Structure 1
Amino acid sequence: MESRVEQSLQKYRVLQEEIAAEKVPLIQLINELENQVIEMRGQMRSIRSGEERAREELRAQRSLTGDLRTQNDYVSGLFAQYLNTYEGRLNIAEDQRLSALLDPFREAIELAGPGTQEAREKRAEAVEICLQRLEVISGGYSFGGQAIDRAGEILEGDVIVFGPAAFFREKSGREVGTLNYRPGAIEPAVSTLEGAFGESLRNYGSSGQFNLPLDASMGKAASLEKASDNWREHIEKGGVVGYLIIGMGILALLLAGVKLIDFSALNVSIPSNLASTAAAAVEGNLEKANEQIAKSKPWMKAMLTEGAAHANEDRELMEDHMISVILHRKPRLERFLPWLAVTAAATPLMGLLGTVVGMIKTFTLITIFGSGDPKALSSGISEALVTTELGLVVAIPTLIIHGTLLRLAKRRISAMELAATEFSKIVNKLTGKGDA
């Protein structure tokens, strides 16, 4: 057993020596491998850090690309909007020159597609042309163009643009003036200039200079003056209904004049000798009473004559005779007044009738021609508005005149009634019947 134990221990020592001999290289190998792992981990951290930086840069580049794309789309949209609305800000005369320059760019943009790089480049070039126009517009420039005269004939000549204003000079110098928009025509219309400005513009071809007329309305004042019609043309727009309204208004004015003449001739006032007239009538001295009555107004004279003739009779009978005279005179005072009242009430309704007729005509024209042509609709709308205007113009003065004349008639009737009452009171007092 001891021998075996000794052998085992010998083997154990041999194995320990072998292990010790092999352990050192392995430990060295492990150390080398651990150092490599540490180095590779450092490289890994460095690679991951670079990857994160690359990702951050990529995100920043993507964000910048998106911002640039948004800005690019925004600027491209502004260019497109500017070009689409540019011609609307031009003088109608400049469209002849700039359309020829801008139309090729529009066609190229349409062929390339609105969002392409080529379209953006074409828009930028078109905007550059527009900006070049702004550089020369303040000092003015000229070019060959066309215009339409008042007869509708197309004229060839020079178009002179200065700021927002445009002028035209025919090649022969016969027709000169400002250029303005003419509905339904491609070319602008010439508003002829006369006098010193026209002569100066005619001489522009030889001197290259002329005096500019100042028009703050940009030709709108001249167009408005041409569009403004006289009173006859204005009434003609009202049609048959307008003439009927005017006829009623004229008749109402004539009747009002007749009534004023009547009132001036039929003026009444209480006589100052009413007491002496009543005293003479009570005494039975009709001759003296009639002499006193003769000094009164014609209408008052007839009433007092009746009162004096029945002064010694019953009071109610005397008053009835005097009131009878007033009632006989009242229709003459109020004649023609009902016609004025009818005119004041009927003319607004006739104006409304004209409005309805004009609107029916307008809707008929819209049905036939559509709503795109304003000239086709203007006649019906004008008739509708003019008849309403004429109805109010006639009705308002007629209503005022009727009220005034009616008040004058009532004042004269009231004056006669007051004179009759005063005469009756004086007679009753003289005869002693007033105490009864």
Structure 2
Amino acid sequence: MSRHSWWLALPIAAITLFSGTVSAQSGATASDDATSDTSASMQQVLDRFRADSQAAEQRDNQRLEALLDDRQALQQAVSDAEQRLQQAQVRREELEARRSDQQQQLADLRQQRKQDAGDIGDVSGIVKQQASELRDALAESWLTVGGDAALPPRLDDRGLVDLQTFERVRRDLAGLIVESGRGVRFQAPVAGQDGDVSQREVVRLGDTVAFSDGNLLQRMGDDGRLAVFAATPGDARQALRAFQQGEGNQIVIDPTDGDVLEALSQQPTLWQRFQQGGYVGYVIVALGLVGLLVALVQYAYLLRVSAKMRRQTQNPETLHDDNPLGRVLGRFAALGRDHAPEALEARLDEAMLAEQPRLERGQPIVKLIAAVAPLLGLLGTVTGMIVTFQSITVFGTGDPQLMAGGISQALVTTVLGLITAVPLLFVNTALNSRSRRLIGLLEGRASAVLAEHLEAETAAVAHAEERRHGAHA
């Protein structure tokens, strides 16, 4: 029996069982109450039961028909569901195949992205490094002062550099390149050497130099504050001032980014150099001044004596006591004519020897100082080296500034000794030459006077002899 027959037999069996039960109950009732009920009442009950049975059967048939209709609908729904399931399975297989293809494509894309990201990452890293190095290198540059150029931005170390950042870096670099070839004038607050800040006209030439009122400027921090450099050489100051005023076409630049100017500002002055020589340097300079003073006084004396001796030579008849020649000739003239020639010559030599010390006065002192000054410089050198080695012994060679004091003393004293000795040697030579010339002039004129006197004496004696011989004849 099929599944559908079971559905049909169940209602029929239920109806039959219900009818038999009712019939049995009716028979029992009829047998027990035959005397009390009439056949009409039984007929009514039976009719009502039959009507109810028919109604129930009709309802059951309707239900059965509804069930049959529902079964067909369910079968159709199941068939549709099975069809949809098959379609879904086919779709699922297609989607799984597509998903597998897409996963493979995704893996390929990830691998390609990884390779591309590696190249882009290298480029991005280079850009970040170059931008950072360029920003650090141009942190104290003049290119961003008085112009529209800006330094490249600080790039984030995380992630790749996007196109906008690349464009900004390119634009900033282009602006810096343009500013490196421009010369601009602008007003800016400048701090002077005394610390006062005032508004001044500043001239900037590319990335090489910036100056105001003839003074080189330096940057104070990353905010662009300007300050006058500690020391600008005098010639450079004049050239910069003339250029700013439009009167010159020369400027002074420092290609070492301020190192040369910093070294110039730290160079000691002449007085500071002198102080580095210490007590030995003071002694050398004092002796040099004494020697120079003695030499100048003596040279001035020799110049006056030379002029007076020239006048005396031009006027030999009038003797003056204000010059050596006049005094020597005066002493010779005061001698009697009856002296022997040897005695006259001895007296004349004595008079010249008496004048010679005055003419050579100061030369031994100058010569002594010229000889002692280098020795004192050598003494200062040895003393400075001793101080240097003591510093090395105590502090080691880690800090050169600790040794600079002794080395400076050693070198400065040597220089002072040579500077003192060399001029004094020239001065001593000039004094010696001048005094020898005057002594030679004095000896020459004295010898000429003596010769004239001896010739006159000889002529007088010869004339007397002739007269005596003539008288005897």
- When normalised by structure 2's length, the TM-score is 0.46
Largest Rg, 1 or 2 = 2
- When normalised by structure 1's length, the TM-score is 0.49
Higher RCO (CA 8 Å, separation ≥ 6 residues): 1
